[in-house]
Amino acid sequence: MFLITKGSSMILALISLLVALTLIGPVVHGQMTAGMFMGIISAVFGMIQKLGFQMSRSLENISRVGEYMKDLTAFVSLSEEKDALTEPDAEPIAIDLLEFRNVRFRYPSGDRYILDGLSFKLEAGRHYAFVGKNGAGKTTITKLLTGLYPEYEGEILINGTELREYSAGAVKAMFSVVYQDFAKYYIGMKDNIALGNIHIKGKEREAAHLAGLDEAIDRLRDGIDTPLGKILKDGQDISGGQWQRVAIARSLISQAPVRILDEPTSALDPISESLLYSEFEKLMDGKTTVFISHRLGSTKLADEILVIDAGKVTERGTHEALMAQKGRYAEMFETQREWYQ
């Protein structure tokens, strides 16, 4: 685009120069006055300048649209996975034991293993926290659990049965995940929450109450039926923290036996995050939950903490036990403690 724009500008400049040179002869021979010459040249240069500007803008738009079309073409050409539109089972399977056994995984376009011999067990009814530095593989674990990437080595066992042997509907019903980049659906708040469980209706208000959305609902024009966002007519936007609570309400209404919070509170301050995790822990009493967080203050709420490093579990235990080990977890915790002193 740069070459075409500059090339066209040079051509237009040459045309202007040729017009000027052509008119010099008539001026010298008295066939045209100097004033007429200057008037014509000014008009030509003005026209060329305007034409050049419009051409540059047009070429810029063509180039930009061309890049958009590349993305759209790539998106349209994507293949749809089998059972992508399969609904979660109405009755999820009760999970007594979840086990990763020597799991190795790398992304299709990656050249290194994100998970490299990862092994651990999670028991029903306990709260777990996964911690580690960026790129350690924490979020990748949730992607494998939810069936987004079935091409892994090793075994992921649910009650002793390999995850890939379960149907898509069964896997979707097993887990409820609140991601860091949770979705903001520009539909009514009630429908937003109802997406967490499409098989049960009428529990949306209760889930909203448990998620601490009563005050937000009271401020909405039509209460819980108000469209969220500003796309729909009469829609109202809400704060980022309230959007997070809507996502948590979706998880609360779900019947999934395993609930996962994958850094959904990264935009909150540490105190607000700790309070939110504490509330979620109380609401999930008796259920299997997994917290993934960079801020280690919230991990003290977990029954057990797993430290992930280089795709493996390097430390495991309670907060007190890991601090006594004076290992990687204790080092990270002490470093973060200094941030808030």
Render pLDDT for 211-220 as a digit per residue (tens, 0 to 9): 888 989 999 9
Structure-token pair, residue 107: 């992304």
Burial class (CB in 10 A: 0-12, 13-18, 19+), 297: middle
Domain ranges of the chain: 2-76, 97-339
The band of 265, judged by pLDDT with boundaries at 50, 70 and 90, is low
Tell me: pLDDT of 267 over 60: no
For 116: left if phi > 0, alpha if psi spans -120 to 50, otherwise beta; the answer is beta
The band of 33, judged by pLDDT with boundaries at 50, 70 and 90, is confident
Structure-token pair, residue 35: 């004033």
Please tell me the number of Cα atoms within 13 Å of 233 on its side-chain side: 0
CA angle 211, 212, 217 (to 5 degrees): 110
The band of 341, judged by pLDDT with boundaries at 50, 70 and 90, is very low
As a whole number, mean pLDDT of residues 102-124 equals 91
CA separation for the pair 124, 172 (Å, rounded): 18
List phi, psi (to 5°) of 115.
-110, 130
Classify the C-alpha dihedral 181-187-193-196 as positive or negative.
Answer: negative
CA separation for the pair 74, 88 (Å, rounded): 28
How many residues does this entry show for the chain? 341
List phi, psi (to 5°) of 310.
55, 35
Q: Are 146 and 177 in contact (CB under 8 A)?
A: yes
CA distances from 195 to 21, 109, 132, 201, 207 (A): 73, 32, 31, 10, 12
Structure-token pair, residue 180: 């860091």
Q: Are 204 and 193 in contact (CB under 8 A)?
A: yes
CA separation for the pair 161, 48 (Å, rounded): 74
pLDDT in tens, 40-93: 888 888 887 777 777 778 878 888 888 899 989 988 888 887 888 889 998 999
CATH label, 97-339, candidates 3.40.50.720, 3.40.50.300, 3.40.50.2300, 3.10.129.10: 3.40.50.300
Per-residue pLDDT, 337: 67
CA separation for the pair 10, 14 (Å, rounded): 6
Q: Are 304 and 321 in contact (CB under 8 A)?
A: no
CA separation for the pair 203, 65 (Å, rounded): 45
Structure-token pair, residue 250: 């979706």
